[in-house]
């Protein structure tokens, strides 16, 4: 009969997991928010690098981290952190990767380099790959303007992740450490992926700018016009967070309200607000296609479509 207790186990005790160290190259809006978010979760942010040392010191102060602060020309003083996060502007990534690679010798331990550009694939860091780094990209679908609110927003963000195996594994761990979520995105799709992000962020701001100008023509001040639109925008986002676009769509295109659209078009044309008519026609047509896609319209939208066509041809 086998003994129940075969004595002390010979299996090695598991190694305590050591939290990897991080250096951030390009401590601007996103880099500083990363420094704050990761240091709060127990990561040691060993160094922050900016173009100037003054800018790096300012970033460390804003993020409340006791990291080494370096200028770009001091890269030789960069510690051998396990993870390099490159958060410089997109057009600097390749150059910065080259500079970093020039001063780095291959070690026994594989290190990780990740950038945070939405549009560029990880192979922009190819120079670091040639000196033994596993390279990847982790892009947060979020807009960040300062470290404190940025770190908070990162916690609820979704990150598109792409790159080599070890790099993507590390990126997923970093993302989940700050309470965010990630999904894979193929390198070949990064430009389209980022264009989608711009369409739902920067381009929405451009669209709201048009609406503000229309309200200014109605006699509101710029700042009051922005204020009155915020609850409307928030309610739209709320609708979108629990319903698909077909069900979240409201307004005359969702209701097949032909008479209202007929009143809108000449009023927008008379206002002479730049791009307002083109945006209304373009997005109105898309709203119709959403309704048709789900066969959601109460009556066929052919009439609304011909109203838009007629107006456009007589412009
Ligand atoms: N901000 C966002 O909402 C957001 C969201 C998602 C992704 N991203 C991505 O994050 C990256 C950075 O964006 P950001 O908005 O944080 O930019 P940013 O605020 O302009 O910061 C860029 C940082 O990079 C530094 N830098 C510029 N050129 C450099 C160089 N050659 N070497 C080293 N550092 C250099 C700057 O240093 P100085 O301070 O000395 O000028 C600055 O600290 C971009 O790839 C962007 O696409 C940003």
Q: Give the number of the atom of ligand 1 that is nearest the alpha carbon of residue 115.
A: 45
Name the residue with the closest Cα to ligand 1, atom 25: 26
The SS3 call for residue 96 is helix
pTM: 0.90
User: 79 burial class (0-12, 13-18, 19+ CB within 10 angstroms)?
Assistant: middle
Each residue's pLDDT tens digit, 33-69? 999 999 999 999 999 999 999 999 999 999 999 999 9
CA of 117 to the centre of ligand 1 (A): 9
Residue 52 Cα, ligand 1 centroid: separation in angstroms? 13
* pLDDT score recorded for residue 3: 41
Q: Which pLDDT value is given to residue 105?
A: 81
Q: Which residues contact 28 (CB under 8 A, 6 or more apart)?
A: 50, 59, 87, 88, 89
Residues 6 or more apart whose Cβ sits within 8 Å of residue 156: 142, 179, 180
pLDDT attached to residue 302: 84
- Ligand 1 center to residue 211 CA distance, Å? 30
Angle at 183 between CA 179 and CA 187, to 5 degrees: 135
pLDDT digits (tens, 9 = 90+) for 13-38: 776 678 899 999 999 999 999 999 99
Q: Which residues of the chain have pLDDT under 70?
A: 1-11, 15-16, 295-301, 315
Residue-level pLDDT at 9: 52
CATH topology of domain 21-189: Rossmann fold (3.40.50)
- Using CB distances shorter than 6 Å, the residues near ligand 1 are 25-31, 49-52, 55, 72, 87-90, 92, 96, 116-118, 139-140, 142-144
Residue nearest to atom 27 of ligand 1 (CA): 88
Classify burial at 58, counting beta carbons within 10 Å of its beta carbon; exposed 0-12, middle 13-18, buried 19 or more.
middle
- Write down the residue that tokens 């102060």 correspond to: 61
Taking every pair of C-alpha atoms in the chain, what is the biggest distance, in angstroms?
A: 96
53 neighbors 69 (Cβ within 8 angstroms): yes
Please give the C-alpha separations between residue 52 and each of 24, 55, 85, 207, 294, in angstroms, as whole numbers.
Answer: 14, 5, 18, 36, 54
CA 207 – ligand 1 centroid, Å: 25
Long-range contacts of 17-20 (CB under 8 A, 24+ apart): 19/43, 19/44, 20/81, 20/82, 20/83, 20/112, 20/170
The DSSP element (H or E) to which 112 belongs, if any, is: strand 112-115
């Amino acid at each position: 009969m086998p003994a129940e207790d075969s004595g002390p186990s010979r299996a090695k005790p598991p190694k305590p997991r050591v939290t990897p160290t991080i250096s951030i190259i390009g401590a601007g809006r996103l880099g500083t928010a990363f420094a704050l978010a990761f240091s709060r979760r127990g990561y040691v942010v060993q160094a922050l690098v900016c173009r100037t040392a003054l800018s790096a010191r300012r970033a460390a102060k804003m993020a409340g981290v006791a990291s080494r602060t370096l200028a770009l020309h001091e890269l030789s003083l960069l510690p051998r952190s396990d993870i390099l996060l490159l958060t410089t502007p997109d057009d600097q990534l390749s150059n910065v990767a080259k500079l970093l690679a020039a001063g780095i010798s291959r070690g026994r331990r594989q290190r990780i380099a990740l950038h945070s550009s939405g549009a560029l694939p990880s192979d922009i860091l190819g120079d670091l790959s040639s000196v033994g780094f596993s390279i990847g990209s982790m892009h947060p679908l979020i807009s960040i303007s300062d470290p404190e609110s940025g770190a908070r927003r990162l916690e609820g963000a979704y990150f598109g992740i792409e790159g080599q195996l070890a790099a993507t594994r590390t990126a997923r761990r970093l993302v989940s450490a700050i309470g965010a979520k990630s999904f894979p995105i193929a390198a070949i799709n990064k430009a389209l992926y980022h264009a989608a992000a711009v369409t739902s962020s920067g381009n929405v701001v451009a669209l709201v700018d048009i609406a503000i100008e229309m309200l200014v023509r109605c006699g509101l001040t710029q700042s009051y016009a922005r204020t009155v639109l915020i609850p409307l925008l928030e309610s739209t986002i709320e609708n979108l967070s629990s319903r698909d676009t077909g069900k979240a769509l409201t307004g005359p295109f969702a209701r097949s309200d032909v008479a209202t659209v007929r009143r809108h078009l000449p009023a927008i044309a008379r206002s002479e607000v730049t791009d307002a008519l083109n945006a209304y026609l373009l997005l109105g047509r898309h709203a119709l296609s959403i309704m048709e896609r789900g066969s959601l319209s109460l009556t066929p939208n052919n009439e609304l479509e011909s109203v838009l066509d007629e107006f456009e041809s007589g412009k």
